[in-house]
Amino acid sequence: MDYATEGMEVLPDAIQGHILGFVRSARDVASCSCVSKKWREAMTQVRSLYFARNVGDEQGILPDLIVTRMVLSMTGLQELIVYCPFSNVSLLAWLKHTKGTLKILELRVDDLGEKRMGNSSMSKLDCVALSTQLHTLRLWGVLLTHAPAEWRCFHNLHTLEIVGARLRDSALCGILHACPYLTNFTLLGCEGIRVACIELERLTNCRLDLYGAGKVKKLDVGRLPELQSLSLRGVHWHWEAIHTVLQSATELRELSMRVEFCGDADKLEPFPEIDFVDFFKSHPKLRSFEAQGAMFAAVANRNSLKQLSPACVIPCLEEAWVTIRSPLNADYKLASLEALSSGAKV
């Protein structure tokens, strides 16, 4: 360690600061701050801070105190990732301090249902409204029964990811209303959505991974002129919801369909027949296609294959990922696979 320190000390201060600026783990930042006074001053200029789930466990100190002390010592923090427990009061202090510089915020909000602490009437998600310069927001383990009351409009936010959340339809609608300029939107491992309204004209990448009890009944998307990548996953989606988004997303380059069952009733039903030729003609720029068994079985149907000619071309398709779970109608499925490989660039 002494050798490494001496090696760094011979470098100009600007270069030392640049090198130390790549340190982002809170544990490493704290260790570097103990090396020397010069290093301690340099660490206040770190641009990114990451707090792991177990922060404070070894010292027996509340993680809230550790995060607050370190964040408030920073002069230009641009990225903050917090996986350890924290209170709404602490979060409010962090975001007030980094209000003008913070661009990326990632929070593990496991305790959203707990009572708010201190005199603050703001929930944790309400506090996020202070960070008006955000470009990217990621939320883990959120319970969203209603939209955050303090959210107005995030003019700079282009990426929103919500992971492992329970949401109500109205809450999602309110959140997206406050984020009209999103280009990347992800719901990963979420549940509770029945009717969703995703009208984002700048949307380029969309991933809707909706599991849990119930089904997705309706998906209002408006026009999606910029959408290039779409992933739909879940157990039970109404065909109307799937059909609506596929009709609107005609400029797709990447499509992943891993929905187990379809049907517009409570009963789990297979997908309706999908015309192979029409499907690829309506998505002429498709480069990557992934289909789970039920979706592929709908494409590989007898009526669709009757209209298939040897001259059928899928001009842009470069890769296809297909999962086949049942041997039923194996000849139709094989014929569709042959059509994919012969008509595409795969």
* Torsions phi, psi for 281 (to 5 deg): -70, -35
Residue-wise pLDDT for 22-62, tens only, equals 888 888 888 888 887 887 888 888 899 999 998 877 777 88
The tally of CA atoms less than 13 A away on the side-chain side of residue 196 is 27
Domain segments of the chain as ranges: 47-112+129-342
Q: Is it the case that residue 9 has pLDDT exceeding 90? A: no
Res 20: pLDDT: 78
Task: Please identify which residue in the block is written with the tokens 């982002």.
Answer: 24
Does 111 score more than 80 pLDDT? no
Instruction: Indicate the residue type of 83.
Output: Y
Separation between Cα atoms, residue 122 and residue 102, nearest integer Å? 20
Q: What long-range pairs does 176-182 form, CB within 8 A, spacing at least 24?
A: 176/200, 177/147, 178/147, 178/148, 178/151, 178/152, 178/153, 178/154, 179/153, 179/154, 180/153, 181/154, 181/155, 181/156, 181/157, 182/157, 182/158
Average pLDDT, the chain: 84
Contact by Cβ (8 Å): 195, 173: no
Over the stretch 202-235, which tens digit does the pLDDT of each residue have? 999 999 998 765 678 888 888 888 999 999 998 8
Tally of CB atoms within 10 A around 229: 18
Residue 212 and residue 187 in contact, taking contact as beta carbons nearer than 8 Å: no
β-bridge partners, 108:
140
Max mean pLDDT range (11-20, 155-164, 254-263): 155-164
pTM comes to 0.88
What is the per-residue pLDDT for 180?
A: 95
Scored b (16 or more CB within 10 A) or e, 195-220 reads: ebbbebeebbbbbbbbeeeebbbebe
Q: Would you state the pLDDT for residue 10?
A: 74
Highest mean pLDDT among 36-45, 182-191, 232-241: 182-191
133: Cβ–Cβ under 8 A, 6 or more apart, which residues?
Answer: 99, 100, 101, 102, 103, 156
**φ, ψ for residue 130 (rounded to 5)?**
-65, -30
Look-up of token digits 């297909």: 322
| CA angle (152, 158, 160) in 5-degree steps | 80
Distance, in Å, from the CA atom of 196 to the CA atom of 192, rounded to the nearest integer, reads 10
State mean pLDDT over 290-298. Answer: 80
Amino acid at 10: V
| CATH 3.80.10 for the 47-112+129-342 domain, yes or no | yes
Question: How far, in Å, CA of 140 to CA of 81, rounded?
Answer: 11
Secondary structure element (H or E) that encloses residue 209, with its range: strand 205-210
Q: Alpha helices, DSSP H only, in the chain? A: 2-9, 13-20, 26-33, 37-43, 63-72, 88-97, 124-127, 169-177, 239-248, 276-281, 293-299, 302-306, 330-343
